[in-house]
Every structure is written in C-alpha cells, then in structure tokens.
A and B are shown apart, each in its own frame.
Chain A
Amino acid sequence: MKIFAQCGYGEGQKINKGLAEELIDGVIYSPKDITSQKLREKLTELSETYPEAELLFDPQYYVSMMGKNPNLNVGKLESYTDDFFSLVSRNKLESEKNVTSDIKKVIEFQNTLPLSSKISPNILISKTFDSIEGVISKHFIRLAKEAADEVGNKGKLICTLAISTEAISNLAELQEFLSSITIIDNPPDGFYLLIGARSLAIANSELFNADVIAGWMLLNYSLNVNGFRVINGYSDLLSPFLTAAGGEGISTGWFSNLRNFSLERFAPLKQDGGSLPIIRYLSTSLLNRIRFDELNALKDRFKQILNNLGTDQFYAEEEIDRTNEILQNWDALYNISLAVSKGSTKSRIELCNNLVDNAIELYSQISPFFPLDPKSSGNHLEAIQLGLEKFSKLAEI
C-alpha cells in the first residue's frame, strides 16, 4: 500500500519533508493550486531528489462541466487553458469523438511531465449512475487506454472515477456500474477514485454514511479483484477501511478541502477568510483527530490515545508547526492502514471491526471524564460499523 499527499494550496515544505522522512510514498498534484510552469518545476525537482516517489497529476477535468455555476472559481486551472483545460457542455461529451479528443489533450500534457503514471480525465457522476453522466463516465473509462496509447503514453494509465455520495449510495446501481466497467476491453491499468460530497461543510456527515462507506469499499474490492490498481483520492479517515477492502493507494492533505473531495471547492458558496484551523492530532485508536489541547488533557490518563509513532514527538512541543501536523497525520494514517492491509479480506475486515469496537470503547471511557469538541467525537464510528457490515454482505464475505 502507498500513501499520497493530496496536494493543494500552501504546500510549503510539507511535501519535501514528507518524502525526505519517508512518511509519504508519493504526491497527487492538482492544477487548481499550482500553475503549469510551477508544476513542471516542482515535479522535476521531486523526481530528481526523490526518484522513488510516485508522482501523479489529477487533471481535475470534472471541473470542465461547471461552466454554468455563477460562483465558479477554477483558480490556477486557467493557466492550463493552452494545455488541456476548457469548459465543456454535457452535450459535447455525449460524442465519443469529443471524449477521445479531451482524453488525448490531458494525456499529451502529462506526457511532458516527469510523472510515474498518467491519470486520465472523467466527469463527476453527480446524482445517479443511471444517467447521461453515468454513460459519459463509462465512455471516459472505455476510451482512456486507446486514446492514451494513440498519443504515445508509455507508462501505466489510471482513470479517474468521480462519484457523488448521492450516486454511490444507490448500491444496486453501483453494482451494475461495476459489472459493466470491469468487463470492458482494453481497460486502463487502474482507477483514481473520488467520492464527492455536495459541500465541504457537510462532507463528514455525507461521507460517514454506511451506504457511502460500503459502496466506496466495494469499489476498491471489486476493482482490485479484477486486477485494477486503486488509488483513493481524499480518502483521509476512511483510508484504513478502503485499504482493507483492497485499495492500494490512500491520500490526504492539510486543509479540509484536501481531506474531503467536493466540487464546492471550485464554486465556494462563501469566501473563506477566517482563521486557520485548530491544530489536531490524529489518534489511530480513536480513528479521529482531536485538538492539541484535548490531547494534552487526555494523554496521561488514556495512554492509548497516543500512536507511539516517531511523529508523536512533534506534539511534545508547545507550539506545533503546521508542517509537522500533516506529517503526523500521514504517519498515523499510513500505519493504521498498513495494519489492516495483510491477510484475507475476511480477516482484514475483522481487524477493521476490532479497530472500530476499540475506538467506541475508548470514547466511552473518555466521555464521562472529558467533554470533547464535536469534531473530535466518536459520532462517525457507528456509520463505519454499519458500513463494514454492509460491505461484507455486498462482497459476499
């Protein structure tokens, strides 16, 4: 398994430190937050300094269909207009010829960069698989390999598959969709999965939903069973469960819009201009982040809150550096995911269930002693528990 930095605004030294300290295996860049020129420089630098690092580029093509949104803010994607980016209509994408043409543009651009694999584009299935969007998404999957080959792609090809929480919740439709995409001739080598919430403000309540979790896990399981490599974008706290289901790659970043995927990032309803988020510690035993002050209040009485990983040392200081915060997050997520990545699927799911049971137990011990901030609470665990149960049934385990 591999952990990727989901890269965005405010990179600073986070990526370099993560790679230097071997806390991440690679990086997923995306054009909204980095200009074309800067991206090229950065990838060249990383590929020379860290030749083992896996460097990927999410073309964020799904933004192309948002032209009608009055709040559209594509950021630095505009600097890619000469390369591949333009706003398109759904009608245009109903033509396979246009889909092929757009895939080629995206891959041709990536061919000029020192990337480990190429990510081919796709749109977001926003409401249901049984829709024109579902059909177009299948076009992008079915045509990706051939189009990429035609423009001289030599490396592995990973195809974007972007699905809203609403669409993935229809588990019957999801299974039909899976049945269809797993049998196509000349498929890509893998998939880059994005599960999108309607808005970042409610992302946690949408993502920590039993059907969404079960569906996302099923995608990982089925695609892996069928020999595809699966990289999960913005998987954050769900990473261990996706790994247990068969996913190879997990990722997260340092801001909430790099931890959860939502198109709202490209059309914000309100401008964020507030203060920086509170520094948090990702506790593997709680399967959640808690505030730094909460950690300090609890760690002596509930020693199991600490991960006992090297990055814990950053939290021994009074002032936590934001770079160190994300290093700790990556370290914790990687280790907890690694712990459930071996053995049969059945045994991995059992391990996941144990993790959740233990977290619930720990929260119940903390609860009478210390009132936690709502974001630090264990409210998400019941959905995970149910999600694991539903997944086991869907995967016939």
Chain B
Amino acid sequence: MTIPIPDLGDLQKYFNQYKDIVFYGKGGFKIVYKMMQGAELEALKLAYIPKENTSAEIQAEYKKRITREYELLRNCNSPFLVKLGSLTLSEAIISKETFFAYSEEFLEGPTLYELVKNNYKPDEAELKILAKCIIEAIKEIWSQGQSVHRDIKTQNIKKSKIKERPFVLFDLGIAFSKIETPITINPFNIPGTRQNIAPEMFDPNFRNDIDYRSDLYTLGITLYEYATGKHPIANLGGNTMETISRIIRVIPEPIEKLRPDLSVKFSELINQWLKKKPHLRPHKFAQVLPILESKS
C-alpha cells in the first residue's frame, strides 16, 4: 500500500495549534511527524485508510485497528509503554486525503534496531533491564481485555534517556484482544512483521488459544537480536514461505553460542522464550523476575 504524504504546509495549517511539524518516518499504514506542543515535543501519527481498490470491510478493519490502538494506549498505565499526547483521535482531511490522527509523547533516543545496526552490544545488566521493562508492558497490555501486542521487535522499542523509563515499547497497531471481536477479516492474513510472528499464530484457530506467551516469544526474539545483532530465525534474503517454514521448524542457535559471556540462567530463559510451543515458555513473572534481578 502506498501512503500519500500530505503537503507539510496543509498539515501545519490543519494542526495550527502545534508548531514546527516535521516528517519523522512512516510505517505500514502510518506517517509520523515530530511537532511542538508548547515546549513539549510530541509525535503526530497519521493513519491512512485507503479508499481506492479497498473494500468497505477492509476500510472498517483499518479504522477498528487504529481505534483499538488508541484505546489501549489510553487505558494502559505503564511507564514502559508510550503515552498518548495532547491530540485525541479524530478524522482529518488533509491534502484531499482522509487520515485518522492522534498524538503520542515523543521520546528522545534510538530504537533498538538503530543500535543493532550500529553494532552496539548491550551487556547482561542492560538486557535484563530491557526484559523487565517489556515484561511490565506485556503485563499491562494483557490486563486490558486480555490483549497481546503481537509486534514486539527492535524497531518498536526505544532506549530512552529517562532514568525511570529506560526502554519504552510503542506501536500497538496490530494488538489483538482475546475477548473482543476479531478485527482481521481474513484469518490467514496474519498482520505483523513476518519474521517475528509467533509460531502459534500460523494455526488458523489461534484466536481460541493465544495469550501473552506470544509476546514473550517476540520479546525473546528481540532480546536475542539486540544481544547478538542476529535474528534467531530469519534468513537474510529468504522469501515469505521460507521464513514461515523457519519459524515453525528451525530451532534457533542457543544464544550462549553467540554470547558466551551471558549467565547460564539468563541464556536459558531467552532460549526458552523462543520455544515453538507456548507451554514451554516460562511466563510466571514471580518465576522470571529473580533471574532478571540477579547480578549474574
């Protein structure tokens, strides 16, 4: 899908209560801008709902998705999840295109993906802090209508400069709620970053069985990639079918082979979160936290 980029002048005119709007980046169906709200930086998010060649059903799916993301962020209360900004969710027609717009706080700092690209190697203490922060975020998301983030990855976590919030998870665009009506119309069309999809999501009946252990799997993928600079499953250059096959079948190389400096218990925990079957992933926070809080 091609997202039309609105004219910056039109954008500034439409959101005239904000200053210094500048383009920041774009994702699957969203464009992100930086802007000033008084003295505070905020991230303006424009979600594009395609009209041409798109059925009313699909359009409705996109709208529900953006609404769910917004509502989840509104209801969640965790320092390790991005917070909403001053702009509430509303429809906006800019440069003759219709968007759904809202704002989030703008967090300074690189994403883990950027750090990986720069060959940054976090130590065990930092990896444990990352795991703790994201587990807290997963817990909070689950507490909101048994929801699952489904897209935890290095691109969606920022290493922030705020001491109390060292790592912050964002982009709940494809979050799934177990108790709400499913949004995705085609159950075989699994939204998300292909190489990070939990294996159980490929089961057409996953809606009955999914729980937050799918997010622990993607946390395991993220920790592995951040620690080693290498994705545990994906094969560079592989096509979609090959990637899916690898997700279902390939047992990742144990992390200790690439990071022998990590403690045995911590390595075991990451390896265990990467297991294909959810019942093999430790999930009790009381069980996991002592490992993450130990010095070695």
Query: Measured between C-beta atoms, what is the minimum distance from B174 to chain A in Å?
Result: 21
Minimum CB–CB distance from A5 to chain B (whole Å) comes to 30
B282 touches A395 (CB 8 A): no
Q: In the complex, what residues of A have CB within 8 A of residue B282's CB?
A: 225-227
Chain A residues near B287 (CB, 8 Å)?
Answer: 226-227
Which B residue sits closest to A182, measured CB to CB? B279
Rounded to whole Å, the gap between the CB of B250 and the closest CB of chain A is: 10
CB-CB contacts below 8 Å: B265-296 with A: 268, 272, 275-284, 286-287
Q: A183-B211, A227-B284 are in contact. Are A178 and B275 (CB under 8 A)?
A: no
A209, CB-defined interface residue at 8 Å: no
Task: Collect the chain B residues with CB atoms within 8 Å of residue A179's CB.
Answer: 209, 277-279
Asked whether any CB of chain B lies closer than 8 Å to the CB of A344, the reply is yes
A-B contact count (CB 8 A): 43
Task: Assess whether A396 is interfacial by the CB under 8 Å rule.
Answer: yes
Q: Chain A's nearest CB lies how many Å from the CB of B268?
A: 7
A:317-344 near B, CB below 8 Å: 344
Contact of B283 among A176, A178, A226 (CB under 8 A): A226
Task: Report the Cα distance A340→B282, complex, angstroms.
Answer: 22
CA distance A212 to B110 in the complex (A): 51
Interface residues on A, range: 10 to 19
Contacts of A344 in B (CB 8 A): 264, 268
Of chain B, the residue at the smallest CB distance from A345 is B268
Instruction: Report A-chain residues with C-beta under 8 Å of the C-beta of B213.
Output: 183
Asked whether A239 is an interface residue with its Cβ less than 8 Å from the other chain, the reply is no
Q: Mark A175-197, 1 if CB is under 8 A from B, else 0.
A: 11011101100000000000000
Known contacts: A225-B272, A344-B268. The answer to whether A395 contacts B280 by CB under 8 A is yes
Check B251 against A222 for contact (C-beta < 8 Å).
Answer: no
Q: Restricting to B153-183, which residues have a CB under 8 Å from any CB of A?
A: none
Give the CA-CA distance A178 to B287 in the complex, in Å.
Answer: 18
CA distance A365 to B276 in the complex (A): 42
A133 to B97 Cα, complex, angstroms? 57
CB of A18 to closest CB in B, whole Å: 32
Proximity string of chain B (76-120) to chain A, C-beta cutoff 8 Å, 1 when within and 0 when not: 000000000000000000000000000000000000000000000
Mark interface residues in A214-254 (1 if CB within 8 Å of B CB, else 0): 00000001100111000000000000000000000000000
CB neighbours of A221 from chain B (8 A) = 280
| Bound CA–CA A221/B277 (angstroms) | 12
> Which residues does chain A contribute within 8 Å of B268, judged by CB atoms?
344
Task: State how many angstroms separate the Cβ of B210 from the closest Cβ of chain A.
Answer: 10
- Determine the chain A residues whose CB is within 8 A of the CB of B209 once the complex forms: 176, 179-180
Chain B residue with minimal CB distance to A346? B254
A175 to B275 Cα, complex, angstroms: 13
Distance of A286 Cα from B116 Cα, bound (Å):
53
Per-residue contact bits, chain B 191-218, to A (CB 8 Å; 1 contact, 0 not): 0000000000000000001010100000
Among A175, A180, A183, A227, the residue within 8 A (CB) of B277 is A175
Considering the complex, give the chain B residue whose CB is closest to the CB of A175: B277
Interface mask (B124-160 → A, CB under 8 Å = 1, otherwise 0)? 0000000000000000000000000000000000000
Within the assembled complex, what's the spacing in Å between the Cα atoms of A129 and B219? 31
Closest to A343 in B: B264
Query: Which residue of the partner chain B has the closest CB to A394?
Result: B277
Interface residues of B (CB under 8 A from A): 209, 211, 213, 251, 264, 268, 272, 275-284, 286-287
- Chain A contact residues, CB within 8 Å of chain B: 175-176, 178-180, 182-183, 221-222, 225-227, 344, 395-396
Other A-B pairs, 7, CB within 8 Å; known A178-B279, A183-B283? A182-B278, A183-B278, A226-B279, A226-B282, A226-B283, A344-B268, A395-B280
Nearest 7 CB-CB pairings of A with B: A227-B287, A178-B279, A179-B279, A227-B284, A182-B279, A222-B279, A396-B275
19 contacts between A and B (CB under 8 A): A176-B209, A178-B279, A179-B209, A179-B279, A182-B278, A183-B213, A183-B278, A183-B279, A183-B283, A221-B280, A225-B279, A226-B279, A226-B283, A227-B284, A344-B264, A396-B251, A396-B275, A396-B276, A396-B280
